[in-house]
Amino acid sequence: MQATESQNHLHTDMSQIKNIVFDFGGVLVDWNSRYYYRGYFNDDSRMEYFLANICTDEWNLENDRGRSYAEGVAQLTALHPEFREAIEMFPVHWGEMLRGEKPESVALLRSLKDEGYRLYGLTNWSAENIHVAFERFDFLSLLEGTVVSGIEKEVKPEPQIYRILLARYSLKPEQTVFIDDKEANVETARRLGMHGIVFTGAEDARRKLDSIIAGARQ
């Protein structure tokens, strides 16, 4: 009887959710290059062409991986000299693309902290301006640690940056929930044994998180 109780306690402890990991952009903060470029182009169709074909998400991902903005801009202007000025504006006006916090998400973060969960960040973000986020958003101090792609030179959804997070903070995947607004990023977390939530809003995330927590306790 004692052995069974001990085994049950061990199972409960191992499966209990203890850690919640948050993406930044699109989850905790509102970042979108359109906030600047809409005014720059004053033409939505031209702006969308520029973002889909010139300053693409794939180009910016390499900045998030650790490439300097200077190098990224130089490469892109060589390929698209007709858009030189618009490309050069990206790092100059990056701060205007960062609109602000997502209040409902910040409320969720604070609530989870009060409930005793350990909170972490895992973000694709350039090393050149990650300091802006921590200076502007005091709620990020609630996080016990953050792994930043530009510093590690690894990006989501590639698995190595998740492994860095788990190892650095001694997190057990089965005790960890990862919240991100991109399906591919969440899928990698799940493949590595973490629980995953695709973020569409704070209320929905809370509901899914409660379901995961309840399931882990059974």
- pLDDT tens track for 59-88: 999 999 999 999 999 999 999 999 999 999
**What pLDDT is stored for residue 14 in this prediction?**
55
Is the pLDDT assigned to residue 132 strictly greater than 60? yes
**What pLDDT is stored for residue 217 in this prediction?**
77
**What pLDDT is stored for residue 2 in this prediction?**
47
Tell me how far apart the alpha carbons of residues 31 and 25 are, in angstroms, rounded to a whole number: 6
One-letter-per-residue 3-state SS of 167-178? HHCCCCHHHEEE
- Residue written as tokens 């629980």? 195
Given a contact cutoff of 8 angstroms between Cβ atoms, the answer to whether 87 and 77 are in contact is: yes
Kindly state the percentage of the chain with pLDDT values over 70. 93
173-208 tens-digit pLDDT: 999 999 999 999 999 999 999 999 999 999 999 999
Q: How far is CA 56 from CA 21, 40, 70, 88, 206, in A?
A: 26, 16, 16, 14, 32
6 token code pair:
């001990």
Among 3.40.50.1000, 2.40.10.120, 3.40.190.10, 3.40.50.300, what is the CATH number of 2-28+102-217?
A: 3.40.50.1000
Nearest one of 164, 193, 165, 195 to 177, comparing CA atoms? 195
Is the pLDDT assigned to residue 155 strictly greater than 80? yes
pLDDT band at 15 (very low <50, low <70, confident <90, very high): low
pTM: 0.91
Tell me how far apart the alpha carbons of residues 66 and 116 are, in angstroms, rounded to a whole number: 33
**What pLDDT is stored for residue 39 in this prediction?**
98
- How is the chain split into domains, by residue range? 2-28+102-217, 34-97
Question: Residue 179's beta-bridge partner residues?
Answer: 22, 197
Tell me how far apart the alpha carbons of residues 184 and 166 are, in angstroms, rounded to a whole number: 18
pLDDT band at 11 (very low <50, low <70, confident <90, very high): very low
CA 85 to chain centre: 29
How large is the average pLDDT for residues 135-147?
Answer: 97
**What pLDDT is stored for residue 57 in this prediction?**
96
What is the residue-averaged pLDDT of the chain? 94
How large is the average pLDDT for residues 111-117?
Answer: 98
